[in-house]
Amino acid sequence: MEKTLKIALVGAGMFGGDVHLRAYADLQRFGIGGQLARVGLDKWTRDLAPVKFDLVAVATRSANSAKRAQANFKEWTGHEPRAFHGDAPWDDILREIPDLDILAVATPDHLHTQPILAALARGVHVVTEKPMCLNIREADEIIEAARAKGLIVSVDMHKRYDPDHLRVRDDIQNRIGAPLYGTAYLEEPLEVATGTFKWVESSDPFSYVGPHWTDLIYSYYRSKPVSLTAVGQKKRLIRDGIMAYDAVQVRVDFANGLSMNFHNNWITPPEFEGPVNQGHEIVGADGKVESDQQYRGFRWWNAGDKSRTSNNHFTRDVTRPDGSSAYVGYGVDSLTVGLAAISRVKFHGETRESMALLYPTAEESRITCAIVDAAARVRDLNFQYLQEGKGATVSARFGEDGIFIVDPNRASEGADAVFQRIYDQPV
């Protein structure tokens, strides 16, 4: 019996149209076997080698971009997926392709929940871009729907699969001892905010790229947040009439005592020597780890061009003997783990539960959703109070009794106003 997994991709912009589409192009032609040892799953190479991956549809907002993605895929593979477009093209896909196995979601940050829930309702597994969603209640809905149907929701948290980070998780964190404090930063180019994304006003730099780091820290220590505070600034993008935060800084305190500062912006000038600036460091009771993810000691310059750095670990082209390129890197690895888990569930009798250690799950992503959700509220209140000359005194507290926004500016209104409960389930 032929084993095939049918995939549909919604969202084929900067990320979906590049990383997802290229990864699915390699899967379409060669299957998943060649990727498995990279993520420690080589023992399944023989089992999964016969599985065929078929990109049956690609969907975007406009007809033109959908056709572009369709044409690119055909050029790379000789196979033409169906093209869909519109405000909710996932509904058309799910209706017209009832035997779909996987919906891959790479729509803008605020448009993940709808397609994820629609797919789960139809019994379709999901591979989604980060953040899974921007709100902890939506995270709960997704988890409930996935559990009820035994479906996988795998979240593309690729920082977990950076070889340097795997080393921290498996070895170095034990050497540096109990974590005390640290910083994680990801600074995006101005171009994404002023040109690439039409949705910057519906997101912010922390919601957009902070989840990479909050998830990584959670994957190292499995310790939940207990409190946070957040501030943001609006000075650069307003010059271009864009009413969005330039930068957001969030400090999260975790139950294990670690205090992490997350610094994000999307206003890095084009003169910066790499695509993004990123890294993290953690000080422990017995040592420290530093990881510069952008400048890894690899830099060049040449006549007619300035100095450049490059992170070749994320994705890279490996030239095949026939001159074409294989596409590998930790950016692909985080898709591989979810697809391997789905393959095991569909063809090898595994379950959602038995595969949970294999990939970044919806339950784990819920922690990041809780942080993103609370940070957005705290950030907005602190922004407003800072403008009024009242300082940035708002914070959030997480616990068994839910999530509270703590706003001392409302002391005259009583305790319920100072401690506003925004979520009443244990985090």
Ligand X SMILES: NC(=O)c1ccc[n+]([C@@H]2O[C@H](COP(=O)([O-])OP(=O)(O)OC[C@H]3O[C@@H](n4cnc5c(N)ncnc54)[C@H](O)[C@@H]3O)[C@@H](O)[C@H]2O)c1
Chain positions contacting ligand X, by CB under 6 A: 10-16, 59-61, 65, 87, 89, 106-109, 111, 129-130, 156, 158, 196-197, 208
- Residues 6 or more apart whose CB falls under 8 angstroms from that of 5 comprise 51, 52, 53, 54, 101, 102, 339, 342, 343, 346
CB of 74 to ligand X, least distance (A): 17
Of residues 172 and 376, the one with the C-beta less far from ligand X: 376
CB of 382 to ligand X, least distance (A): 23
CB of 197 to ligand X, least distance (A): 5
CB of 106 to ligand X, least distance (A): 5
CB of 216 to ligand X, least distance (A): 12
Torsion sign over Cα 37, 40, 43, 45: negative
Strands 395-399 and 225-233: antiparallel
Of residues 14 and 148, the one with the C-beta less far from ligand X: 14
Of residues 127 and 427, the one with the C-beta less far from ligand X: 127
Of residues 105 and 381, the one with the C-beta less far from ligand X: 105
CB of 184 to ligand X, least distance (A): 14
CB of 8 to ligand X, least distance (A): 11
Of residues 56 and 258, the one with the C-beta less far from ligand X: 56
Of residues 201 and 413, the one with the C-beta less far from ligand X: 201
Of residues 56 and 345, the one with the C-beta less far from ligand X: 56
> How far apart, in Å, are the Cα atoms of 208 and each of 115, 162, 204?
18, 19, 6
> How far apart, in Å, are the Cα atoms of 378 and each of 252, 296, 373, 406?
12, 34, 9, 9
CB atoms inside a 10 Å sphere around CB 171: 10
CB of 194 to ligand X, least distance (A): 13
CB 230, CB 249: distance < 8 Å:
yes
CB of 128 to ligand X, least distance (A): 8
Of residues 60 and 227, the one with the C-beta less far from ligand X: 60
Q: Which residues pair with 276 in a beta bridge?
A: none
Q: Closest residue to ligand X, Cβ-based?
A: 13
- Among residues 56, 61, 7, 53, the alpha carbon closest in space to that of 30 is found at 53
CB of 227 to ligand X, least distance (A): 25
Q: Which residues pair with 317 in a beta bridge?
A: 327
CB of 199 to ligand X, least distance (A): 6
Of residues 210 and 284, the one with the C-beta less far from ligand X: 210
* Tokens 């595969």 belong to residue: 355
In degrees and rounded to multiples of 5, residue 398 shows phi and psi of: -115, 145
Q: Which residues pair with 230 in a beta bridge?
A: 250
Of residues 11 and 284, the one with the C-beta less far from ligand X: 11
- Among residues 202, 218, 309, the alpha carbon closest in space to that of 258 is found at 218
Of residues 65 and 395, the one with the C-beta less far from ligand X: 65
Q: What angle do CA 54, 197, 158 make, to 5 degrees?
A: 50
